[in-house]
Amino acid sequence: MQIKKLYSDSLAFAEKDLKLAFRYKVNFFAQTFLTPLTTVMPFLLVYSGYFLLGGTQVENLSDTTFVTFLLIGTIVNITLRLGFNRYLNKFKLEKYWQTLDAISITPISKLSLILGGMIDGLVSVIPGIIIISFAAYLFFPTSLAVVLPFVVLIIFALIISLCLGLIAGLASIFNENYSTIFQYSLLGIVFLSCFFYPISFFDNHPILALLKTIVLINPYYHIVTLMRGVWFGTGFSTQSFIFVSMFVVAMPFISVALFNWVWKRFTVEGY
Amino acid sequence: MPSAIAVENLVKTYRAKESSKNFFKGVLAPQYTTVTAVDNVNLDIKQGEIFGLLGTNGAGKTTLIKCLTGVMSPDSGSIYLNNKSIEESRHRLGVMFSSSMIYNRITGYDNLKFFAKLYGVEEYEKRIAELAETFEITRYLPRLVEGYSLGTKTRLAFARTLLHDPDILFLDEPTLGLDPYIGANIRKVIKDLDKTILLTTHYMEDADELCDRIGILHQGKIIATGSPEQLKKMVKSHTSIVIESSYPSPQLQAELKKAPFVLAFYKREHGLKILIDHKNDLSKLLKILARYNLTKIDEHEPSLEDVFIKLTGAQHAD
C-alpha cells in the first residue's frame, strides 16, 4: 500500500514538474543541454587542434577515442546538472508560490520528491542522451550490450544529483546566498569528476595530486569511468560499482532526513 | 462538544534582520532581533465550530496557522487536532493561505489533479468537477493560473483546500481583496461546509457573519475570545463616530490622541472611525471636529470593529 502510494505520488510529482519545466521551453533546453555543450566545446576544440596538428596520444586518449570520451563525459554532466539544478531553481519559485508549504502538509513521503524528480529527469534527459550517444557511436562504434549498464549508471548519476539538488534547493530557500554558493560548487564537482580529461592529468602537479584524492571519492568520477570502460571495452570495476551503489542507496535517505529536519527547524527567509 | 483544535502555551519566535542606516554596517555586520510572533497562545476550538482570528497585520495570525498545521514548528507548547498530533491528523487537514499555494505555470485543473493525487482522492475527476461548479471556476480550469484574476485564484486555492474533504480547515484571509460577488460566494461556501474552521480575516463583517466565536490576536497574544455578541457587549456603552474627510489632518489625529474621552481611532477609506467612551462625550468631540474641514460625521451602533479598535488600542491613522 505504502509503495503504491509512493509510486503514485512520484508520478504526480513527475507529471507536475514536467509541465512546469516545459512552460518555458527555451530556458529548460538551454540549462539542460546548451550549458553542458558549451562546457565541452573548448575541450573538443583543444583536443581536435592537438590531433589535427599531428599529436597522436593524450594520456590514454587517441584521435579515434577522444570525441566519444568527451561525449560520455557530457552525458554525465547533463545528468548531473539536470538533477542538481532541478530543485535549486524550482524551490526558489515554489518558495514564493508557497507551494512547498502546501506540499509539506500533504500526507506524502518526501522520497516521492526524489523519485518524481528521477522520473521527470529521465524523461527530460533521454532525448539528449540518445542524440549524444548516437554521435558517440558514430565516432567509436560499440556493442548494443552497453545500453543496459549505461541506463543503470545514468539513473545512478541522476539519483545522486537529485539528492544533492534537494539539499542545495532546501538550503537556498532558507537563505538565497546558498543558491549562488551551490551554483559555483557545481563547477567544482564538474572539475573533480574528470568529465573532460583523464584522471592522470592530476598526477602532473603536487596540488593536483591532492585534488586527485577528492576525485577518487567522487561518485561521478566512478560513474563516468564505468561508462567509458563499458563503451570502450576496457573493463568494468566491480569495486567502483559497489562504491557508487552505496551512494545511490544512502543519499535519498540522507537527503530526505535532512529535508525533514531542516524544514521544521529553520524559518524560510526572504518572503 | 469534543475539542477539535486544542492549543496550550504555544510560543513561536523568529529572527528578523534589522535595517541599518549605514550601508556597510548593514551588509558586513547585520543586526538581528528576536520577534515573538506567537506568545503563549491557548485555544480550545470545538468540533463543528467556526472560530475567527482577528488581528492587525503582523499580529501573528499566519504564523499561528503555520504552527497549527505543521508548516512551522513552534518553540514550545502543545497542539492537538481531534485529539491527535499534527502528524497523525495531517491527511485530514485543509489549509488555505489566501490565493497562494498554487502553481502559477500550470493550469488550474493540473493544480487540482496534482494535489488530489497527493491526498489520494479517489475519482478525483468527479471531485474536481464538483468543486469547480461550487466555486464557479469550471471554465477557467483549462487555463494557466498565471492568467487568473485574484478572485479566480482564490477560488481555485479554496477548491484545492477542499479536495480531500478535510475535517478541519485553516483559512488564512480567504476573502482578501475579493470583489463583493466572489466574497459572497466564498462566505456562502464557508457557511455551508459544516466543518471545524479556523479562519483569519481583516474583515470584521466576515467575522461577524461567519464565526461562532472570535479570538482577537494582538502582538502574538490572544487578548479576548467570545461570540460576536459577547464581544460587542464590551463596547455597548461606547459611541462610535465615523467622520469623512478627503485627508484626516495630522493635527486632528494629534488632538484625538490627547483627548481623554477618545478610546481609540482607526483610519478608514475616506476618513476616521473614532470610539469614544460615552455618548455624553459626543459634544466635546464635536467641538474638536468643528475646527476641521470634514464632509460628513455619522454616529454608529458599536460593532465588532469597535471591539477590535478598543482592544488593540489601534491608532492607525498615520
The partner residue sitting opposite A105, judged by closest CB among B70, B102, B110, is: B70
Domain containing residue B133: CATH number: 3.40.50.300
Nine cell digits for residue A183: 551554483
Please report residues of B whose CB lies closer than 8 A to that of A4: none
- Predicted local confidence at residue B317, as pLDDT: 41
Are B200 and B287 in a shared domain? no
Are B48 and B119 in a shared domain? yes
Residue B256 lies in a domain: yes
Residue A248 binned pLDDT confidence (cut-offs 50, 70, 90): very high
Are B85 and B106 in a shared domain? yes
- Predicted local confidence at residue B262, as pLDDT: 85
Residue B76 lies in a domain: yes
Residue environment code for B275-302, b if the CB has 16+ CB neighbours within 10 A, otherwise e = bbeeeebeeebeeebeeeebeebeeeeb
Ranges A18-22, A30-34, A134-138, A219-223: which has the least confidence = A30-34
Write out pLDDT tens, residues A50-94: 999 988 888 888 999 999 999 999 999 999 988 888 888 888 888
Are B171 and B196 in a shared domain? yes
Write out pLDDT tens, residues A121-151: 888 888 888 889 999 999 999 998 888 999 9
Give the nearest chain A residue to B120 (CA atoms).
Answer: A5
Residue A270 binned pLDDT confidence (cut-offs 50, 70, 90): very low
| B residues 7-36 lying closer than 8 A (beta carbon) to A | 14-15
Task: Give the whole-angstrom CA distance, residue B168 versus residue B81.
Answer: 8
* Averages of pLDDT over each 10 residues, chain B, 318 residues: 91 82 77 88 94 88 91 91 91 88 94 96 95 95 95 94 95 88 90 92 86 92 91 78 74 85 80 82 84 80 80 57
Q: Which residues of A touch B (CB under 8 A)?
A: 5, 8-9, 11-12, 15-16, 19-20, 23-24, 97-99, 101-108, 264-265, 267
Are B217 and B283 in a shared domain? no
Write out pLDDT tens, residues A145-179: 888 999 999 999 999 999 999 888 888 887 788 88
The partner residue sitting opposite A106, judged by closest CB among B72, B102, B119, is: B119
Are B50 and B186 in a shared domain? yes
- Residue-wise DSSP of chain A: -HHHHHHHHHHHHHHHHHHHHGGGHHHHHIIIIIHHHHHHHHHHHHHHHHHHTT---BTTB-TTTHHHHHHHHHHHHHHHHHHHHHHHHHHHHHHHHTHHHHHHTSS--THHHHHHHHHHHHHHHHHHHHHHHHHHHHHS---GGGHHHHHHHHHHHHHHHHHHHHHHHHHHHH-THHHHHHHHHHHHHHHTTTSSS-GGGGGGSHHHHHHHHHHHT-HHHHHHHHHHHHHHTS---HHHHHHHHHHHHHHHHHHHHHHHHHHHHS-----
- CA-wise closest residue to A140 among A234, A16, A269, A248: A234
Are B150 and B66 in a shared domain? yes
Between chain A and chain B, how many beta carbons pairs sit less than 8 Å apart?
73
User: B206, B227, B248: which is the final residue of a domain?
Assistant: B227
Are B212 and B257 in a shared domain? no
Task: Give the whole-angstrom CA distance, residue B186 versus residue B181.
Answer: 9
User: B227, B252, B283: which is the final residue of a domain?
Assistant: B227
Give the residue numbers spanning the domain of B284: 234-312
Please tell me if residue B176 touches chain A, with a CB cutoff of 8 Å. no
Task: Give the whole-angstrom CA distance, residue B204 versus residue B216.
Answer: 11
Most A CBs within 10 A among B35, B118, B128, hence the mutation to make, goes to B118
Query: What is the mean predicted confidence (pLDDT) over A175-195?
Result: 89
CA angle A180, A184, A189 (to 5 degrees): 140
Indicate the pairing of strand B196-201 with strand B50-54. parallel
Nearest-Cα distance to chain B for A88, in Å, is 17
Most B CBs within 10 A among A6, A10, A92, A99, hence the mutation to make, goes to A99
Write out pLDDT tens, residues B56-83: 888 899 899 999 998 888 999 999 999 9
Are B256 and B197 in a shared domain? no
Count of other CB atoms within 10 angstroms of residue B129: 15
Please state, rounded to an integer, the average pLDDT across all residues of chain A: 88
User: B227, B250, B281: which is the final residue of a domain?
Assistant: B227
Residue with the three cell numbers 480567504: B174
The partner residue sitting opposite A265, judged by closest CB among B73, B118, B144, is: B73
Whether residue B117 and residue A105 make contact (CB cut-off 8 A), yes or no, is: no
| Cβ atoms of residues B142 and B152 within 8 Å | no
- Predicted local confidence at residue B138, as pLDDT: 96
Q: Which residues are CB-contacts of B90 (< 8 A; sequence separation ≥ 6)?
A: A105, A106, A107, B70
Rounded to whole angstroms, the maximal C-alpha distance in chain B is: 67
Residue A120 binned pLDDT confidence (cut-offs 50, 70, 90): confident
Are B165 and B270 in a shared domain? no
Most A CBs within 10 A among B18, B114, B161, B176, hence the mutation to make, goes to B114
Task: Give the whole-angstrom CA distance, residue B201 versus residue B53.
Answer: 7
- CA-wise closest residue to A44 among A79, A76, A70, A78: A70
Query: What domain count does chain B have?
Result: 2
Task: Give the whole-angstrom CA distance, residue A15 versus residue A121.
Answer: 11
- Predicted local confidence at residue B248, as pLDDT: 66
Are B177 and B295 in a shared domain? no
Are B170 and B270 in a shared domain? no
Ranges A24-33, A97-106, B196-205: which has the least confidence = A24-33
